[in-house]
Amino acid sequence: MNFKVNPIFEASTALILDKIKTFNTSGTLFGNGDRNKIKLFSLDDKTINIKSFKIPNLINKIAYRYFRKSKAKRSFEFATILLEKGIGTPQPIAFLENFNLIGLKDSYYASEHLITELTYRELVEIPDYPDHDNILRQFVKFTFDLHEKGVEFLDHSPGNTLIKKIDDSKYEFFLVDLNRMNFHNAMSFEQRMNNFSRLTPKKEMIEVMSNEYSKFYTSKSESEIFEKMWQATSTFQEEFMRKKRLKKKLKFWKKS
């Protein structure tokens, strides 16, 4: 077993470890648990969530023990790095890895549970969401700041940014699902634009995002930013739909 606690929560180490160990028989399920299962627990005066990652296949069991860090460990370490850089994410609490003779058996990541008004997904699905344009533009500034700090969030997708309303016109943003990130000394224009590719298929949102990004990234024109951002989005959407069609065919063949 490999277990590590954030020093901030060191006084609660035994309690945190117990909650992780009894994950399967306690806690309140949060979300649908299709891939990874998340449960909510009380810790002193806080609500925390613990994510149990999907049990890896044989190859990954070996890889996560000998060649690369588990998703739980990466989530903990990346959250720590983000906070050090002044980037919003729920406070990391602990991670635990269980190993057997083959490799990684299961793993868990615990963090503070944030209650927020919305995620980026609502901006995509509800075009008339109150203060939509302002929230979207502040999200773009948040993403620009990520890029300036060399953070390439590879899962920068609709459900992975929590948005909290601070006052009538100000919002804060928090990244979740952190296990896939790259850190750079500087990010290229192409890396920056590709980082928008998963966020929305809507051209009108890309127009707003490219307009706002151009206010801060002054080495490229607004038209260049829009063209590259839309190209990256279109490429991702085409590949996404291709995979979706392929999965549908595979399901049909299995039923036949």
pLDDT band for 148, please (50, 70, 90 cuts).
Answer: very high
Give the residue from 4, 30, 32, 2 showing the smallest Cα distance to 16.
4
Q: Between the ranges 20-29, 33-42, 207-216, 235-244, where is the mean pLDDT highest?
A: 207-216
Q: Is the pLDDT of residue 61 over 70?
A: yes
Q: How far apart are CA 229 and CA 235, in angstroms?
A: 10
Instruction: Tell me the backbone φ, ψ of residue 151, rounded to 5 degrees.
Output: -95, 115
**Half-sphere exposure for 46 (CA within 13 Å, toward CB):** 17
pLDDT for position 209:
98
pLDDT for position 255:
57
Q: How far apart are CA 117 and CA 163, in angstroms?
A: 6
| Cβ burial, residue 152 (10 Å; 0-12/13-18/19+) | middle
| Cβ burial, residue 98 (10 Å; 0-12/13-18/19+) | middle
Mean pLDDT within 138-155: 98
**Structure tokens of 224?**
């260049």
Question: Residue 122, Cβ neighbours under 10 Å: how many?
Answer: 14
pLDDT for position 254:
58
Mean pLDDT within 32-52: 90
Give the residue from 75, 176, 45, 63 showing the smallest Cα distance to 121.
176
pLDDT for position 242:
86
3-class state of residue 205 by DSSP: helix
pLDDT for position 50:
97
Tell which wins on pLDDT, 204 or 240.
204
pLDDT for position 118:
96
Mean pLDDT within 207-225: 97
Give the residue from 138, 141, 202, 196 showing the smallest Cα distance to 164.
138
Mean of all residue pLDDT scores within the chain: 94
What residues form DSSP beta bridges with 39?
Answer: 29, 50
What residues form DSSP beta bridges with 162?
Answer: 119, 174
pLDDT in tens, 158-183: 999 999 999 989 999 999 999 999 99
Mean pLDDT within 212-222: 97
Q: How far apart are CA 193 and CA 147, in angstroms?
A: 10
Alpha carbon distances (Å) from 177 to 71, 224, 236, 252: 9, 30, 20, 32
pLDDT for position 66:
87
Q: Is the pLDDT of residue 251 over 70?
A: no
By the 8 A CB rule, do 52 and 20 touch?
no
pLDDT in tens, 98-127: 999 899 999 999 999 999 999 999 999 999
